[in-house]
Structure formats: C-alpha cells, structure tokens
Amino acid sequence: MKWIKRGRIFDPAGGHGWFVSHAALPVAVAQGDHHRVYFSGRDGARRARIGYFDVDLERPERLLEVCAAPILEPGPLGAFDDSGVTASCLVDLAGRRHHYYTGWSLGVTVPFYLAIGLAVADDAGSRAERVSPAPVLGRSAADPYLTASPWVLVEDGRWRMWYVSGSRWQREDGQAKHYYNVRYAESRDGTHWDAPGTVCIDYASPAEHAFSRPCVIKDGDRYRMWYAFRGAAYRIGYAESADGLRWERRDAEAGIEVSATGWDAEMLAYPCVLDHRGRRYMLYNGNGFGETGIGLAVLDA
C-alpha cells in the first residue's frame, strides 16, 4: 500500500466566521458529483464546533462551498458536550444523516472528559439535532474513564462501532496523561449500545499512549482499519481483521509518512478513507491536531 499525497486541500488559517482555527477530524460523504467534508473548527474560546466544506476529490484545488454556520454546536452548560463537539463518523441511512461525535467537558483532576454523542439531520445541509442530551455511549464499568471518536458501520441491521476508550490516566511530570485504545460495541438501533470492553487495537509498546478515531472499511471478507497512534507525535497506522473483532496491526503497511517540511512534517492524524469512481482516497490532518488543515492522498494504483 502506498499513498500519493495530493497536498493540503483545506487551510483553516483566518477562519470562516464561525471558527477561527483548526479543521480537525475530517469525515466525508458523497454529495452528487462531489463530497461534503465535515470537520471540527474551533471558536475564540477554543471550543470545537462541527461544520463542512464541499470539494471535488478529482479537482481538490478548488473549494466549492464552506458552510456559513456550524451544523452542531457545544451543548448547554453542564452537559457532557458543553466544552466542544468534534466530528467522528457519519452514517447516511433512510434519508437521514446520523452524526456520531465526541462531546468534551472540562475536568479538575484531569484536563477533560469525553463521551460519544449522536445528532441527526434530515438533509445534507441542515443543523443536526441531538437524539439525547446525554451520551449514547458514556462511561461505564467497561469504559470507566472516557469514550470517544466512534466509527460506525451498519451490516444487515447490526450497527457496529469501533471507538476510543480510556484505559487509565497517569500522572507524569506533574501532569495527568491520558491512555486510550480502540474498542468495540454493537447496537440494534444505533442509539442503545452494548459495549463489553472488547479491545481491538492495543498498545504495541510502553511508548504508545493514545489512538485517534479509527476508520473502518469492509473489503469483501476483510475489514481494514486506519487510525493514528501516538507516542511523541501521531503517525498513521493500519490493521486488518476477518471479523471486525480480532485485529492484526500492520502499521508498516500504512503507506504514508510525514513530509520533509511543511504543514504535515510533524504529525499525521485522523485518517478518513473512502472510495470514489474506482479510486481510494484518504483525508487526513497534519501538524497541531488539525491546526494546519486537511490533506488529501490517493492510493497508488
């Protein structure tokens, strides 16, 4: 596997009214002959909101539209998502768009708490409405620290989720440091989830402490997952599975590395892989957890 970089296709510098920095965690859906890319931009208080831009993946140098207002904003005071909402996954089903997202709230003994929310929109451009003021997957005995960054596939009526779960917080150099891996949950309706704590992607060494939002595609009888793993800085990894539960990490086969210089020379994170007109594309973030924008790569044929 080898990805050919097509360059940065969205630079958030200067903002676009509703956000002043960052364009993190891209997730795309086909919209006619182009794609709508949802992402998380930050306001002046550094709270993330979710909006979108439209782009033709075959001519990515020209943006078609940037939304004038976010489709999802932080929740009310005291809610699980009152400090920000970050994009994660989109399920287009029966004419409705199910936006699975991460809700942020600030902590005292630890910097933040995360939980998984769901908001639904009736069409491509409208604001998304939360299905509940509470998370659809929050902390539990199986996930006692945090849940975040879901990716959802629907297979024969079974909703399957791969998500990030905290395994512990640890005080290092006077700071609380998070540790989280990738786990699995199932649902019959996309709202009520059974999450027994099944670990899909775990740490390969003591140097690793975090994984980003997984992206899962089923190719025939094989599941493929792209994610970013973090030691000193995020790098994109890759894994395969026959059943979506037991995974083999093959990070050396990910086929994409940081550039020698520029906007993605320090970090690669938040890959989103999709197919369009016989080609496979990857959207991803570079330096600063989305601060420098969104790039596009295409799988070498």
pLDDT of residue 75: 97
pLDDT (average), residues 206-223 = 96
What CATH code is carried by the domain that includes residue 240? 2.115.10.20
Domains of the chain: total = 1
Gap between the Cα atoms of 197 and 180, Å rounded: 12
pLDDT of residue 197: 96
Which DSSP letter does residue 61 get? Answer: T
DSSP secondary structure string for all residues of 236-255 = EEEEEESSSSSEEE-GGGS-
Say which residues have a Cβ less than 8 Å from residue 18's Cβ, sequence separation at least 6.
41, 43, 49, 51, 67, 68, 69, 70
Q: How many residues does the chain have?
A: 301
Radius of gyration of the chain (CA): 18
> Is residue 125 over pLDDT 90?
no
Q: Which domain holds residue 123?
A: 3-299
Which DSSP letter does residue 221 get? Answer: T
Gap between the Cα atoms of 145 and 32, Å rounded: 40
Gap between the Cα atoms of 132 and 123, Å rounded: 19
pLDDT band at 124 (very low <50, low <70, confident <90, very high): low
* pLDDT tens profile 6-26: 999 999 997 788 999 999 999
Q: Please say whether the dihedral angle defined by the alpha carbons of residues 291, 205, 2 and 280, taken in this order, is positive or negative.
A: negative
Confirm if 270 and 294 have CB atoms less than 8 A apart. Answer: no
* pLDDT tens profile 128-169: 999 999 999 999 999 999 999 999 999 999 999 999 999 999
Q: What percent of the chain has pLDDT over 90?
A: 91
pLDDT of residue 122: 87
Task: Classify the phi-psi angles of 7: left when phi > 0, otherwise alpha if psi is within -120 to 50, otherwise beta.
Answer: left
